[in-house]
Amino acid sequence: MKSLVSKIESNLPQLSEAERRIGEYIIERPDAVPHMTTKELSEKSGVSEASIIRFCKSIGMGSFKTFKLALLKDVTLMDTNLTDFSVLQQKDSPYDLFHKIIHVNKSAIESCADSMDRKELAKAVEALKEAEKLVFFGVGGSSTAAVDAQYKFTKLGYHSITSLDFHYMLSLIPHLTEKDVFVAISTSGKTKDVLELSRFAKKRGAKVIALTNINKSPLYKEADIRLCTPNVEQDFRIGSISSRMTQLTVIDTLYMSMFHHIGEKVVQKYYDARKEMESLRR
Amino acid sequence: MKSLVSKIESNLPQLSEAERRIGEYIIERPDAVPHMTTKELSEKSGVSEASIIRFCKSIGMGSFKTFKLALLKDVTLMDTNLTDFSVLQQKDSPYDLFHKIIHVNKSAIESCADSMDRKELAKAVEALKEAEKLVFFGVGGSSTAAVDAQYKFTKLGYHSITSLDFHYMLSLIPHLTEKDVFVAISTSGKTKDVLELSRFAKKRGAKVIALTNINKSPLYKEADIRLCTPNVEQDFRIGSISSRMTQLTVIDTLYMSMFHHIGEKVVQKYYDARKEMESLRR
DNA sequence: TGCAGAATGAAATTAAATTTCGTAATATGA
DNA sequence: TCATATTACGAAATTTAATTTCATTCTGCA
């Protein structure tokens, strides 16, 4: 049995101008179409709504709705890896953007699997297991990951520190020892603040874990342990919205691994914290 | 990831009479439902059309249409039968966990599409367009999203504020006016700190946008605009690692929409900021 | 050149989804 | 116990989407 998309593809030559335009759009973005209305699809493919209906009939579907359902079924089974698309188009509505972002973020997380080195990950987990203090540092977009990590590891009972303030960090690092871990977060691996603090921490004897894009950046080279995130595409104008997702996925992994390790010991404390929270009704 | 049908099944006891009737019918004939209209389904299950809509919202879907699409996907996949998995198993290596987390986070982002209401999203974007000050507030795991949002909107040139400190926020809110927007972030929608500040902000006349799970929580009810995230499963011991991903996806959407709106005006400023950063070699 | 016939989109119509609103039932609390 | 919320629900109104109708344009051919 032929898939609906390939059926459209093979019917393309027989279709009229307007219908072919529709078909081409559908082939391009089959995953997006089931969520659309005739109006949207007509705008996207540059034809009238009436033509959409005619198109559906042409390829043997009773109605636009039936067609959408059939297409969704098709796409679900196909499990196609959709390739790229440009994030910004002038006519995009917020809802369009929303779906694009879902797609982009999903793919970003998916590609995490490619860039991660399993040995480095194991080393990172070992280092964390033995760590006394954990220091996270990232600036700009990477501060999100630092804040998140700090919160999570505090929940696990770690002495876990982060700050956005370079000078605060500067005053903190002299107190680090070989038992401590400094997690440097920088997508590019070139951020000067992050590099300087990493070097300083390393000089103090702390283990430096770099959470950075997979490339041979200074941070990558200088770190003791490298947790690499994929080189997700980024729009030069807006920066990457997705690199943060990849960083957080790695943080989640570290968190879950540590939870796994010390897990049962802290469960009771989680309960206590939650119960206390409830009694304070917060 | 639980299937939608089994999710409905387990939610059944919590639903009201009419909604339970609907749920029971869906469990009985899940394959038939995607092709039905609200009218048909209401007749089959012996309730009103309005209840159908309410049912969809109750189980975490933005609309009847998205529900049908999700159900179809579910039914389609049921044949190919992907089994779910529990996140924690004793033998899991960090690398195993990593892959599981990739999977879980991906699914969480994917299911964002189901819970988002397109009208509410449009309303949120409109509100942001006209806003003077933006205030973000979230505690615990939700603070990540607040921090991220604050950073992003500052980059866009907004007067954008967040803090983890309840008392700081308390002193800030009296200065809000009708022109300002307060974005309340709480997965459960019940966090007392968030609720109290939202109410206060609303009393001051600010527009309150809730970024919360789709459920009928106090925050959901009281907000002017509701941006709903899906009810991702969470381990009672570790809390949800994924709800943050869904929140960030919504933040990304708002950010991109605003960028889209005021976009070209700020591009030059982005360049300036980057050039300055480079000249400072940071 | 002018006519038949196909292709197309704008506007009208029909159908479906969603919201609003009033009522009844049930919980809450003084 | 009685007043007061709160909740659940369906009927009707409204909004939104799908489909049909119909006028216009284009194309090929006598």
The CATH number of whichever domain residue B264 belongs to comes to 3.40.50.10490
Q: What is the pLDDT of residue A220?
A: 85
Greatest CA separation for chain B: 70
Strand partners, A186: A212
Cβ pair B108, B232 in contact under 8 A: yes
Question: Does residue A61 sit in the same domain as residue A130?
Answer: no
In a domain, A90, yes or no: no
DSSP A239: B
Least confident of A77-86, A118-127, B186-195, B267-276: A77-86
Assess whether pLDDT exceeds 70 at residue B264: no
Nearest protein residue to nucleotide D17 (CA to C1' distance) is A37
Last residue of some domain: B58, B84, B110? Answer: B84
Tell me how far CA of residue A255 lies from CA of A150, A159, B115, B247, in angstroms: 10, 14, 27, 19
- Of the two residues A39 and B236, the one the predictor is more confident about is A39
The overall longest dimension of chain A from CA atoms, in Å, is 74
- The answer on B239 and B197 residing in a single domain is yes
- Kindly compute the dihedral angle of the four CA atoms of residues B230, B232, B236, B240, in this order, to the nearest 10 degrees: -90
Q: How distant is C1' of C29 from CA of B199, in Å?
A: 24
Give the DSSP letter of residue A88: -
Strand order in the sheet with A159-162: A159-162, A133-138, A181-186, A207-213, A225-229
Residues A73/A78/A82/A87 CA torsion (nearest 10 deg): 10
β partners of residue A229: A213
- Measured in angstroms, the CA of A178 and the nearest CA of chain B are apart by 23
The most confident of the ranges A95-109, B10-24, B164-178 is B164-178
Per-residue pLDDT averaged across A37-45, rounded? Answer: 87
Q: How many domains does one find in chain B?
A: 2
pLDDT of residue B279: 67
Q: Is residue A22 packed enough to be buried (19+ CB in 10 Å), middle (13-18) or exposed (0-12)? A: buried
For residues A55 and A23, the answer to whether their CB atoms sit within 8 Å is: yes
Tell me, in Å, how far CA of A11 is from C1' of D3? 71
Q: Cβ contacts (< 8 Å) between B148 and chain A: which residues?
A: 141, 144, 244
In a domain, residue A160? The reply is yes
**Is B167 inside any structural domain?**
yes
Rounded distance, CA A104 to CA B261, Å?
20
Nearest Cα neighbor of B33 from B80, B62, B72, B61 is B72
Q: At what angle do helices A38-45 and A49-58 cross, to 10 degrees?
A: 100
Q: Which nucleotide is nearest to A48 (CA to C1')?
A: C9
- pLDDT level of residue A278 (50, 70, 90 thresholds): low
B47 CA to C24 C1' distance (Å): 16
Of A224 and B73, the one with more pLDDT: A224
Task: Give the nearest chain B residue to A118 (CA atoms).
Answer: B95
Q: Is the CB of A48 under 7 A from strand C?
A: yes
Chain C: positions less than 7 Å from a protein CB are: 6-12, 15-21
Tell which residue, A40, B79, B32, B257, has the closest CA to residue B41.
B32
Q: Could you list the residue range(s) of the whole structural domain that residue B214 is in? A: 118-273
Ramachandran area for residue A263 (φ above 0: left; ψ -120 to 50: alpha; else beta): alpha
Same domain, A118 and A245: yes
Q: Which nucleotides of D are covered by protein (CB under 7 A)?
A: 7-13, 16-22
Percent of chain A with pLDDT over 90: 32
pLDDT of residue B54: 87
CA distance B243 to chain A (A): 12
Smallest Cβ–Cβ distance between B106 and the set A69, A110, A238 belongs to: A110
Q: Is the confidence at residue A79, as pLDDT, over 80?
A: no
Within 8 A of A248 by CB-CB distance, chain B residues are 105, 144, 244-245, 248
Distance CA A71, CA A63 (A): 12
Look up the CATH number of the domain holding residue B80.
Answer: 1.10.10.10
Q: Within a domain: residue A89?
A: no
Residue B61 reports pLDDT greater than 80: yes
Least confident interval from A58-62, A116-120, B97-101: A58-62
Residues A58 and A147 grouped into a single domain: no
Answer yes or no: do B233 and B174 share one domain: yes
Question: Does residue A118 sit in the same domain as residue A192?
Answer: yes
Protein CA at A223 to nucleotide C1' at C8, angstroms: 63
Is residue A38 within 8 Å of residue A64, measured between CB atoms?
yes
Distance CA A180, CA A107 (A): 34
Please provide the average confidence, as pLDDT, over all residues in chain B: 83
Strand B181-186 and strand B159-162: pairing?
Answer: unpaired
pLDDT at B143: 92
Residue A87 lies in a domain: no
Check A98 against B76: CB less than 8 A apart: no
Q: Kindly determine whether residue B144 and residue A151, on different chains, have CB atoms separated by under 8 Å.
A: yes
Confidence of residue B84 (pLDDT cuts 50, 70, 90): very low
Query: Which residue does chain B place closest to A88, by CA atoms?
Result: B260
- pLDDT (0 to 100) of residue B79: 59
In terms of phi and psi (left: phi > 0; alpha: psi -120 to 50; beta: otherwise), the region of B281 is left
More confident residue, A125 or A114: A125
Q: For residue B102, give the nearest of A112, A270, A282 by CB distance.
A: A112
- B56 and B187 within one domain: no
Nearest to A143 among B68, B151, B250 (CB): B151
A33: CB within 7 A of chain C nucleic strand: no
Going by C-alpha positions, the residue among B38, B102, B140 that lies closest to residue B242 is: B102
**Shared-domain flag, residues B135 and B67:** no
Q: What is the pLDDT, as a whole number, of residue B160?
A: 94
Same domain, B79 and B133: no
Lowest mean pLDDT: which of A27-41, A138-152, B76-90, B207-221? B76-90
Q: Answer yes or no: do B126 and B220 share one domain.
A: yes
For the residues A21-31, what does the mean pLDDT come to? 86
Confidence at residue B142, expressed as pLDDT on a 0 to 100 scale? 92
Residue A265 has pLDDT above 80, yes or no: no
For residue A91, tell me if it sits in a domain: no
For B242, the 3-state DSSP assignment is coil
Which pLDDT does position A10 carry in this prediction? 78
Tens digits of residue pLDDT in A216-232: 788 888 899 988 888 77
d(CA A118, CA A128): 15
**Cα(B56)–Cα(B38) distance, rounded to whole angstroms?**
11
In a domain, A88, yes or no: no
**Interchain proximity B253–A92, CB inside 8 Å:** no
